[in-house]
């Protein structure tokens, strides 16, 4: 097992990597939807405060401590509504493109909801643009934002897997307390945590169950794969037969902030403390698995 560790964060134009503060373990967190740096060419139609509701606001900060248990964390710096790193490159919305798209298109439920690779609508189905986008604009977003984020995450996961023979990946998100009109569960109050592993295909069931049980033990309501199973990032990196395990963790936003203003409230401190405990437990799980190999 490697004893090398790093303490200096690396920042690129579209992502920030936080390296372990102690000896690294093969535990990697990423926050693909907490980006708050809006590109100059993002000419959205609604007010910025409406568009920002698409963000997983504060999620990167809630998990900022994970480097202290030997984990690595990667954050996207760009907003998901501009281009969504948790979507397939084929999840292109034909209604959004002004001209021909010469790459494969695979329509999904996310496409029909208007929140595919490049979003067409935001909160409540509000149109995001006053015009259609050109294929060239979308390709530029892929090349400058989507591809570098994916490349960095893959590099880190591959390096940890090569060093340890296994890797555990936690894809960090937040969710509205109630599904909106375009959601799979409109009008339904959600659990505090939703753990997704695409019905057991992206992670060993023991790890998924461990994450869920630890959150439940701290007093939170927890669901698995309902209503979120995980999308592109866990699908891409979760290959349990290769000892590559990926889970998606969704946290209800009202636990820590006002959904309308995006301001943290008194619950933020409690949740952050509980996530510290959870991260330490996940690190212990990973170390235990390594010791048993």
- Check whether 2 has a pLDDT greater than 70: no
Residue-wise pLDDT for 232-244, tens only, equals 999 999 999 999 9
Name residue 10's beta-bridge partners.
17
Residue 136: the pLDDT is 97
Query: Rounded to the nearest 10 degrees, what angle do helices 205-217 and 267-292 cross at?
Result: 140
Residue 213: the pLDDT is 98
Mean pLDDT of 50-66: 97
| Helix or strand (DSSP H, E) at 224 | strand 222-224
- Check whether 83 has a pLDDT greater than 50: yes
Give me the CATH topology for the region 10-84+128-173+195-215+223-250+266-292: Aminopeptidase (3.40.630)
Q: What is the dihedral of CA 71, 237, 139, 108, to 10 degrees?
A: -130
Distance CA 180, CA 191 (A): 15
Short-list 90, 142, 146, CA closest to 116: 90
Q: Give the 3-state secondary structure of residue 163.
A: helix
- Check whether 287 has a pLDDT greater than 50: yes
- Check whether 6 has a pLDDT greater than 60: no
Distance CA 25, CA 163 (A): 9
Residue 226: the pLDDT is 96
Query: Could you identify the residue written with the tokens 């569960």?
Result: 185
Spell out the domain ranges in the chain: 10-84+128-173+195-215+223-250+266-292
Query: Contact at 8 Å (CB) between 146 and 122?
Result: no
User: How many residues does the structure list for the chain?
Assistant: 293
Q: Which range is least confidently modeled, 6-15, 95-104, 180-189?
A: 6-15
Residue 5: the pLDDT is 45
Mean pLDDT of 21-32: 98
Residue 1: the pLDDT is 36
Distance CA 42, CA 57 (A): 18
> What residues contact residue 219 under an 8 Å CB cut-off, 6+ apart?
none
Residue 266: the pLDDT is 97
**pLDDT grade for 249, boundaries at 50, 70 and 90:** very high
Distance CA 125, CA 216 (A): 33
**Averaged pLDDT score across all residues of the chain:** 94
- Check whether 8 has a pLDDT greater than 60: no
> What residues contact residue 155 under an 8 Å CB cut-off, 6+ apart?
none
């Amino acid at each position: 097992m490697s004893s090398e560790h790093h303490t200096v964060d690396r920042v690129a134009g579209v992502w920030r990597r936080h390296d372990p503060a102690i000896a690294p373990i093969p535990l990697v967190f990423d926050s693909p939807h907490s980006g708050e740096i809006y590109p100059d060419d993002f000419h959205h139609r609604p007010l910025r405060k409406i568009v920002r509701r698409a963000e997983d606001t504060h999620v990167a900060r809630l998990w900022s401590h994970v480097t202290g248990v030997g984990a690595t964390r990667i954050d996207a710096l760009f907003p998901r509504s501009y281009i969504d790193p948790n979507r397939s490159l084929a999840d292109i919305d034909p209604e959004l493109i002004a001209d021909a798209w010469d790459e494969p298109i695979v329509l999904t439920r996310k496409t029909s909801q208007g929140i595919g690779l490049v979003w067409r609508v935001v909160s409540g189905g509000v149109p995001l643009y006053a015009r259609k986008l050109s294929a060239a604009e979308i390709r530029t977003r892929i090349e400058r934002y989507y591809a570098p984020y994916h490349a960095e995450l893959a590099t880190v996961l591959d390096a940890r897997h090569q060093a340890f023979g296994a890797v555990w990946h936690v894809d960090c998100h937040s969710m509205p307390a109630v599904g909106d009109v375009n959601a799979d569960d409109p009008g339904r109050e959600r659990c505090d945590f939703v753990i997704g592993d695409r019905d057991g295909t992206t992670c060993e069931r023991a790890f998924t169950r461990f994450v869920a049980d630890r959150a439940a033990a701290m007093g939170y309501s927890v669901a698995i794969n309902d209503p979120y199973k995980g999308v592109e990032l866990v699908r891409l990196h979760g290959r349990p037969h290769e000892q590559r395990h990926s889970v998606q963790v969704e946290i209800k936003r009202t636990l820590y902030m006002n959904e309308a203003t995006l301001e943290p409230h008194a619950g933020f401190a409690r949740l952050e403390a509980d996530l510290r405990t959870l991260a330490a437990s996940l690190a212990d799980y990973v170390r235990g698995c390594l010791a048993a190999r």
